[in-house]
Amino acid sequence: MALISFPKDFLWGTATSSYQIEGAAMEDGRGESIWDRFSKTPGKVGDGTNGDVACDHYHRYREDIALMKSLGMQAYRFSVAWPRILPTGRGKVNPKGLDFYNRLVDGLLEAGITPFVTLYHWDLPQTLQDQGGWPRRSTAEAFVEYTEVVARALGDRVKNWITHNEPWCISLLSHEKGLHAPGLKDFRQALAASHHVLLSHGWAVPVIRAASPGAQVGITLNLSPAEPASPSAADYDAFRHHDGYFNRWFLDPLYGRHYPADMIADYIKAGHLPSEGFTVVQPGDLEAIAVDTDFLGVNYYNRAVLRSDKVPEEKNHPRTVHLAPQSEWTEMGWEVHPDSLRKLLTRLHVDYGPRKLYVTENGASFSTPPDAQGRVPDEKRTNFLRDHFLAARKAMDAGAPLAGYFVWSFMDNFEWDRGYLQRFGIVWVDYKTQQRIPKDSALWYRDVIKANGVQVP
C-alpha cells in the first residue's frame, strides 16, 4: 500500500445544517422557518416527515462534539438557524438562540475542532417569506442585519465564515422548480431571488470582517460540472445553457464578470426576463456582489451529460459520453463520477482564480444498516470518499488551491424533500432512540485524517 499524502496544513472536517439536525423547532423562542411550513404541507416531503426533532442535536450537541473528537475531526461546518436568532427575521434578538451557538462554538474549540459557520442554509424566517422572501430586496437587507448580530456574538472565536449555502438551491430549485421551500414555480421570481441572495452576500462580507477581525470569509456554491453527450453543435449548446444555468450565473458575478450575457439572452427569449433585461439589478449591485473573498466553498455530488432536446435523436450525432450504469449510482439517483470533481476544481482555479478552495460538501447516500453486531459496513460510501479524495489530490497537483475537505454529512439527518428516506451520514442515527453509531466509513475517515493521506494499492 502507498500513502497519497496531503499538505500538512490541509483541513479535514465534516458538515451539517441547522434544520436538518437540530430539532427543538418550537423551543427557547425559535421562530417558524419556511422549512417548518413547507415540510408540514401535505405532499411536499417524500415520507411526510419534518425537522421538528431530526437528530435532536440542540440537546445532544455535547455528545456529537465528543463523537467528532473521537473520530479526529479537525473542523466542523455547521449553519446557524436564522429564526433561532431573530424569530421574525429582523428586530428583537432571541438571547437563548445566541446562547446555543455560543455553547456550541465553545465546545468545539475546547475539543480542538475549528468551527466553520454558514450563516444561511435555507431556513428563512417565515415572517420574511410572508413579506415576499428572497425575490424582494428587503430580504437581502434583513440578512445583513442578521449577519451582524451573529458575527458580533461569535466573531471573537469564529474565524471562518460562509455567507450562503448553494444559492442555486435557494433561488432556482426553490422558486422555479418548487422542490424546496418555499415551493414556488415562477422563473422570474427565481431569478430575482438569485440576485438578492448574491447581493446579500456582497453586503454581508464587510459586516463580518468588521465584527470578526482576521476572519476568512467566503460563499459555498453547488456546482454541476458538465459535458456534451456528443460533439454536435446542438449538444454543445445544451451544455452551454446548463453550465450557465447552474454554474456561470453565480460564479461570473461573484468574480466581477456580471451575469452571463448569453444567459440573459436565453432568459429574455424564453420570457423569463423582460426585454429590457435583468431589471432587478440596481446601480452598485454588481460591484457589491464581486466583493473580495478569501475562499470559495464547493459542494460537489455528481456531473451532468447534456443531450439536446431540440434535435431528434436520430438526427443528432451518436453519443460519445455516457453516464455510468445505474447500478453504480447512489440511492439519490446520482451517478458516481469522481474525476468530475478533479475537472471542476481545476476549472475553478484556471477560470476564476479563487484565493483558496474548500470542498464544503461531498458525500453519498447509501442506507446500509447496522448488522447483528451493531457495525455499519458501508463499503460503498468508503469507496466513494476514497475515490473523491484522490480526485481532489490530482486537482491540487494541477495547481488548484484546495485547503480542506468537509464530508457530507456528519450524521444521517432530515434530507429536505426526501425526509428521512436518504442517509448521507458517516454516523448512523437511529431516529427513534437517537443512538449514534460511527459507520465503517467514519472509522476509515478517522484513519485518513490521522495519516493525512489515503492508502492505495
Identity (one letter) of the amino acid at 246?
F
CA distances from 333 to 168, 227, 365 (A): 19, 19, 9
Say how far apart CA 358 and CA 350 lie, in whole Å: 16
How many C-beta atoms lie closer than 10 Å to residue 187's C-beta? 17
Active site residue 287: no
Grid cell 455567507 is found at 163
Say how far apart CA 240 and CA 36 lie, in whole Å: 36
Cβ contact 66:158 at 8 Å = no
Cβ contact 191:273 at 8 Å = yes
Say how far apart CA 322 and CA 229 lie, in whole Å: 7
Active site residue 32: no
Say how far apart CA 141 and CA 90 lie, in whole Å: 10
User: Which residues make beta-bridge pairs with 455?
Assistant: 3
Three-state secondary-structure class, residue 319: coil
Three-state secondary-structure class, residue 268: helix
Region for residue 48 given its phi and psi (left: phi exceeds 0; alpha: psi -120 to 50; beta: otherwise): left
Cβ contact 161:216 at 8 Å = yes
Which member of 166, 176, 227, 415 is catalytic? 166
Say how far apart CA 77 and CA 165 lie, in whole Å: 11
Say how far apart CA 164 and CA 395 lie, in whole Å: 25
Say how far apart CA 187 and CA 174 lie, in whole Å: 10
Say how far apart CA 76 and CA 358 lie, in whole Å: 13
User: Which residues make beta-bridge pairs with 409?
Assistant: none
Cβ contact 124:82 at 8 Å = yes
User: Which residues make beta-bridge pairs with 396?
Assistant: none
Identity (one letter) of the amino acid at 259?
Y
Active-site amino acid positions: 166, 361
